[in-house]
Amino acid sequence: MVSTDSDDDNLSQPRLQLVTYFLSQFEGKWGLNRRSWGSSDDKGGSEDRTWGGGFMALPKPRTEDVLFQYHMRVFTTRSGRQRSCPGRASGNLTDPSDVRRNLDIHEIRYSVGLKTTWEFDLPVFTLITMTNAFTRLEDLGELCDRDIWRAVNMRPSIRATGVAAFAFRIRSLLPGWADQWSRLLDQIDRVLSADLATILDPASRREIMVDGSDLRLSEFYPAVLQILRIAADWIQESMDDLRWMVDDMQRLYFSPNTDGDSFATFLPSGLDVNSQDAAIAVFKQNWNSVKSHQQRLGKALLARIARTQKQVESLKDGMFNATSVNEAKKSTQLNHYIFVFTVITIIYLPLSFISTLFTLELFTWEDSRQVRSFQFATTITLVAIGTYVFSGFLVWFTQRPTALGAELRAHLEVFRRRMLGWSRRRGLGEN
């Protein structure tokens, strides 16, 4: 699939690894952290390779063509026909205003691979584009259309025509990449429904700011924040991978060759410094066009994600505040119930206590029934009144701790002064 040349029927181990990595990045688990490593080639030399989550390249080959690949990933909400792939994130987010309506989210990827010659002034290259984002390659622009190249400020460059086509294809994928992210943010904004009409309507306002017993808002807002965080990480990852790949390409293939013809280079052969400078300038022009376009789209997306995050944070804070007030209100109501229950208990407690006490054999009555009834009524009345007065004092004491403390201190001070004056008068009288 990478090449139609008969010489590639038996790929070398590094090339086979690149092909496997390309396919696994598109269909399997996302790749490794960016790192450099080395191995020995058939000639006994050493080759440095650079690869990352979004790109991979085998630099400085001596006998084989050059291979590059670049990958991007994005969330999409257009998942009706989306096939589930192993190693890709997918799921749904329930609309808090309508549990029957879900926001389906699936991961899609863009992969571009290049295999090109480096030793010919008229290069032979193979460009592979893989995507499952319902994008037609015809909409990405024809590689032979010079007007499109001029419109995006890009141009081919002799040996590096394949590299220029690689840059052109990546740039043509960026609008769709940004559009998929925008669709995701549009759907999140639709689910949030935090517009002016919603805020001004009491019923709609309660739906997004007051959580129910199912705690759907407590689950929804943190989930949205995590999705936005991951989206920002993936966007930044795509921009970083492109920047790293271009830096490595320039360092490895578009720098003056100090080792003669031992390694591959896309610069013109010979010692014509002006031609080499021109090739380097074209390389920078092409990739600056790609990077600036991606930076412009990516920064706009990141700014929108930041605004949405602030919106969700404010809604989450408002929801937690409203929920706290609601819980405090319920707690106050429960305290009222407890207070009523306590009052009823206090009312009947002295009566039941005295009644039980008078039924004990400890109390033997030799007097008449009238005297016994009088003693029972007197006792139960005094105990009940004492209990009620003491309970009322405790309630007043707990509700007015500060005022009570000040009053007690004032009364104690008055009592102290009176006692002091009384002791002085008593001492004078004795003298």
Instruction: Enter the DSSP assignment of 32.
Output: P
Rounded-to-integer distance, Cα 255 and Cα 283, Å: 11
Distance from CA of residue 16 to its chain's centroid?
A: 37
Q: What is the pLDDT of residue 391?
A: 74
Rounded-to-integer distance, Cα 191 and Cα 186, Å: 9
Q: What is the pLDDT of residue 270?
A: 64
Rounded-to-integer distance, Cα 386 and Cα 384, Å: 5
Q: What is the pLDDT of residue 295?
A: 95
The answer on pLDDT for 229 being more than 70 is yes
Whether the Cβ atoms of residue 221 and residue 315 lie closer than 8 Å to each other: yes
> Which position has the higher pLDDT, 218 or 43?
218
Whether the Cβ atoms of residue 137 and residue 263 lie closer than 8 Å to each other: no
Q: What is the pLDDT of residue 239?
A: 94
Q: What is the pLDDT of residue 234?
A: 93
Q: What is the pLDDT of residue 33?
A: 40
Q: What is the pLDDT of residue 44?
A: 34
- The structure tokens 């306002």 sit at 205
Structural tokens at position 328? 């405090």
User: At what angle are helices 202-209 and 273-358 packed, to 10 degrees?
Assistant: 100
Whether the Cβ atoms of residue 250 and residue 283 lie closer than 8 Å to each other: yes
> Which position has the higher pLDDT, 152 or 4?
152
Lowest-pLDDT range of 70-79, 154-163, 299-308, 387-396: 387-396
> Which position has the higher pLDDT, 131 or 175?
175
The answer on pLDDT for 334 being more than 50 is yes
- The answer to whether the Cα torsion of 247, 250, 252, 256 is positive or negative is negative
> Cβ-count burial of 337 within 10 angstroms (0-12 exposed, 13-18 middle, 19+ buried)?
exposed
> Which position has the higher pLDDT, 387 or 81?
387
Amino acid at position 318, single letter: G
- Per residue in 263-295, pLDDT (tens digit) is 667 777 765 677 788 888 888 999 999 999 999
SS3 content of the chain, % helix, strand, coil (to 5): 60, 15, 25
Please compute Rg for the chain using Cα positions: 41
Q: What is the pLDDT of residue 167?
A: 92
Rounded-to-integer distance, Cα 173 and Cα 140, Å: 7
Q: Other C-beta atoms within 10 Å of 231: how many?
A: 22
Q: Which pTM value belongs to this model?
A: 0.68
Of the chain, the percentage scoring pLDDT greater than 90 comes to: 14
- Per residue in 340-350, pLDDT (tens digit) is 777 778 777 77
- The structure tokens 């707990």 sit at 398
The answer on pLDDT for 4 being more than 60 is no
Q: What is the pLDDT of residue 46?
A: 34
Distance from CA of residue 342 to its chain's centroid?
A: 49
Q: What is the pLDDT of residue 37?
A: 29
Rounded-to-integer distance, Cα 117 and Cα 64, Å: 8
Element (H, E) at 37: strand 35-40
Q: What mean pLDDT is predicted for residues 148-158?
A: 80
Q: Other C-beta atoms within 10 Å of 374: how many?
A: 12
Q: Other C-beta atoms within 10 Å of 343: how many?
A: 13
Q: What mean pLDDT is predicted for residues 338-362?
A: 72
Q: What is the pLDDT of residue 42?
A: 36
Lowest-pLDDT range of 26-40, 166-180, 364-378: 26-40
Q: What is the pLDDT of residue 242?
A: 93
